[in-house]
């Protein structure tokens, strides 16, 4: 058996790992889009490094676009096998892939408007139709179910606690009379997440593919999220009479914020001002989460007994149209606006930041990981002047951040995830989904824990498994 790393190798996007059995059967783990890699992004997304038509099966760990965003392209290039995932991943991947197709078609249209004579027309990587075809190939596997993909190939998914429906993937493969256990962590969440259950333990593996996004950092906050939110909203909206702008990922952060604000309402502490979620995708993702109560942790289930909608509270409004979104800018009253994208690189939130950044009465609240070069990253770094839509803006608004609102576990969480394993029995541990420098630090921590064979594969590198 062989394994090759065709994405998320020494980087955090484009997750794609290909297993090839001795008889030629191929199983692809994830099929993610590369994002934010500058000029080489298109090139990376245009070349798989394998033949999609030859893949027999595909397992999808979760619905983030850097894990499923090239699935429709895989299908367009000839993949026709089953795609195994949890029920929630199927629902969420559908809306996220449709959104991705829309963005790509808009980008291509925009590029073609500015095309020079002789230049090639820009084409979207895929269309809505490719997304629908991909969704049609999806087959549901429940957490904990022992599922036979084919004779000698068994699959089990366990909760990874990262986002709604996220799973760690466990394959039991028997070939030539020998059984091999291979685990792919997918992305690993935090122990003690506001909404989701903690990552589950899993059977002893011979080979592990382990994510390493936060392999060298800890992100604990001193105060509970609710308390920090309350302090920031009171200070901004009641004392300074300003607006709080929160760039937040449509999946995960937005629902966590709504849940925390709902929690404040249940305690009669929620400031009486308007709250807006200004992102149609965030509204859709919230609906998907409401339909999948099976993923909630015990605390959320307890709250559900006294409140039948844990994401809704007085003053909350979901903004659909662009006109209504623009109208928020003209309204001077204090309010809270939660909007995508999470790194403030695109989407409606960029307009809200442009309109509020010049006034000290406002607060821009960052609640997730930001690439250092993104607008969110530059704000967190404390830049005094930032470029927005090619114009310089002085940063007069307060910039705050809540670090513990991350979908990824920190290194203590990652080590916790692996603590169910006997390191002596793990033949190879491959680090994926992390920046190379971070991975090197994490590899040292893992060696300290007794994992002797830690590898950091390069892009397209292939390994023979014993």
Nearest distance in Å: CB 163, Zn ion: 6
Q: Which two tokens mark 173?
A: 């493969």
Q: What is the 3-state secondary structure (H, E, C) of 278-300?
A: ECHHHHHHHHHHHCCHHHECHHH
Helices and strands in the chain: count of H runs, count of E runs: 14, 22
Instruction: Please state the closest distance from residue 324 (CB atom) to Zn ion, in A.
Output: 30
Smallest distance, Å, CB 15 to Zn ion? 8
Smallest CA-to-CA distance from 357 within 386, 390, 382 is with 386
CA distance 407 to 99: 20
Q: How far is the CB of 408 from Zn ion (least distance, A)?
A: 7
Q: d(Cα 211, Cα 434) in Å, to the nearest integer?
A: 7
Q: How far is the CB of 166 from Zn ion (least distance, A)?
A: 7
219 vs 351 by CB, closer to Zn ion: 219
Shorter beta-carbon distance to Zn ion: residue 189 or 376: 189
Strands annotated E in 2-144: 2-7, 16-20, 26-29, 57-59, 82-85, 138-140
In the complex, least distance from residue 319 CB atom to Zn ion, rounded to whole angstroms: 26
Nearest to 293, CA basis, from 259, 254, 267, 266: 259
Q: In what order do the strands lie in the sheet with 363-366?
A: 316-318, 275-278, 335-339, 243-247, 363-366, 398-401
Burial of 455 by CB count in 10 Å (0-12 exposed, 13-18 middle, 19+ buried)?
middle
Cβ distance to Zn ion smaller for residue 10 or 64: 64
Pick the closer one to Zn ion by CB: 187 or 413: 187
Contacts 24+ apart (CB under 8 A), 423-427: 423/449, 423/450, 423/451, 423/452, 424/450, 424/452, 425/204, 425/206, 426/205, 426/206, 426/207, 426/208, 426/451, 426/453, 427/206, 427/207, 427/453, 427/465, 427/466
CB of 69 to Zn ion, least distance (A): 11
Query: Cα 59 to chain center, whole Å?
Result: 17
Q: At closest approach, how far in Å is the CB of 158 from Zn ion?
A: 16
**What's the min distance (Å) between Cβ of 188 and Zn ion?**
9
Q: Residue 263 carries which DSSP code? A: H
Closer by beta carbon to Zn ion, 64 or else 219 = 64
Nearer to Zn ion, 187 or 256 (CB): 187
Q: What is the phi/psi pair of residue 261, to 5°?
A: -65, -40
**Shorter beta-carbon distance to Zn ion: residue 64 or 94:** 64
Which stretches of the chain bind Zn ion, using CB under 5 A?
64, 187
CB nearer to Zn ion: pick between 191 and 318: 191
Q: How many residues does the chain have?
A: 466
Minimum distance from CB of 336 to Zn ion (Å)? 26
Closest CA to 156 of 85, 140, 147, 417: 147
The count of other CB atoms within 10 Å of the CB of residue 423 is 16
- Contacts of residue 10, Cβ cutoff 8 Å, sequence gap at least 6: 434, 435, 436, 439, 456, 457, 458, 459
What would the two tokens of residue 437 be?
């420098």
Give the Cα separation of 88 and 159 in Å (integer): 11
Q: Tell the smallest beta-carbon distance from residue 232 to Zn ion (Å).
A: 26
Q: Are strands 178-184 and 147-150 parallel, antiparallel or unpaired?
A: unpaired
Select 30 or 278, whichever has its Cβ closest to Zn ion. 30
Looking at the Cβ atoms of 64 and 170, the one nearer to Zn ion is: 64
Q: How far is the CB of 439 from Zn ion (least distance, A)?
A: 17
CA-based radius of gyration for the chain: 22
- Give the C-alpha separation, 303 to 292, whole Å: 15
d(CA 455, CA 461): 11
Of the pair 96, 228, the CB lying nearest Zn ion is at: 96
Q: Between residues 8 and 149, which has the closer beta carbon with respect to Zn ion? A: 8
């Amino acid at each position: 058996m062989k394994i090759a790393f065709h994405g998320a190798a020494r980087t955090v996007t484009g997750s794609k790992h290909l297993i090839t059995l001795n008889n030629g059967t191929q199983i692809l783990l994830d099929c993610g889009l590369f994002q934010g890699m500058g000029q080489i992004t298109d090139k990376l997304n245009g070349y798989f490094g394998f033949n999609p038509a030859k893949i027999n099966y595909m397992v999808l760990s979760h619905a983030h676009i850097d894990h499923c965003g090239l699935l429709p392209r895989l299908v367009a290039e000839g993949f026709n096998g089953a795609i195994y995932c949890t029920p929630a991943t199927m629902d969420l991947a559908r809306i996220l892939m449709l959104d991705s197709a829309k963005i790509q078609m808009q980008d291509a249209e925009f590029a073609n408007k500015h095309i020079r004579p002789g230049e090639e027309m820009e084409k979207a990587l895929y269309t809505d139709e490719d997304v629908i075809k991909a969704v049609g190939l999806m087959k549901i596997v429940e957490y904990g179910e022992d599922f036979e993909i084919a004779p000698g190939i068994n699959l089990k998914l366990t909760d990874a606690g990262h986002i709604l429906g996220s799973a760690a993937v466990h394959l039991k493969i028997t070939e030539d009379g020998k059984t091999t256990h291979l685990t792919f962590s997918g992305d690993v969440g935090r122990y003690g997440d506001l909404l989701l259950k903690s990552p589950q333990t899993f059977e002893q593996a011979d080979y592990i593919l382990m994510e390493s996004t936060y392999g060298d950092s800890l992100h604990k906050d001193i105060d509970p999220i609710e308390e920090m939110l309350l302090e920031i909203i009171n200070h901004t909206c009641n004392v300074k009479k300003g607006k709080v702008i929160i760039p937040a990922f449509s999946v995960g952060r937005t629902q966590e914020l709504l849940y925390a604000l709902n929690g404040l309402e249940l305690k009669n502490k929620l400031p009486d001002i308007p709250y807006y979620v200004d992102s149609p995708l965030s509204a859709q993702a919230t609906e998907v989460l409401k339909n999948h109560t099976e993923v909630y942790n015990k605390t959320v289930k307890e709250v559900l007994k006294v409140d039948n909608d844990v994401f809704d509270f007085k003053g909350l409004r979901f903004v659909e149209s662009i006109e209504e979104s623009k109208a928020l800018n003209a309204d001077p009253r204090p309010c809270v606006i939660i909007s995508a994208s999470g790194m403030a690189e695109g989407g409606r939130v960029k307009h809200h930041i442009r309109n509020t950044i010049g006034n000290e009465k406002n607060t821009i609240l960052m609640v997730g990981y930001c690439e250092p070069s993104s607008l969110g990253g530059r704000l967190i770094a404390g830049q005094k002047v930032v470029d927005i839509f090619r114009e310089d803006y002085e940063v007069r608004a307060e910039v705050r951040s809540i670090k513990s609102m991350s979908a990824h576990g920190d290194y203590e969480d990652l080590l916790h995830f692996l603590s169910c394993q006997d390191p002596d029995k793990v033949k190879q541990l491959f680090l994926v989904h992390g920046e190379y420098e971070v991975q090197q630090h994490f590899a040292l921590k893992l060696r300290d824990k007794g994992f002797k064979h830690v590898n950091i594969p390069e892009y397209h590198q292939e390994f023979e498994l014993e």
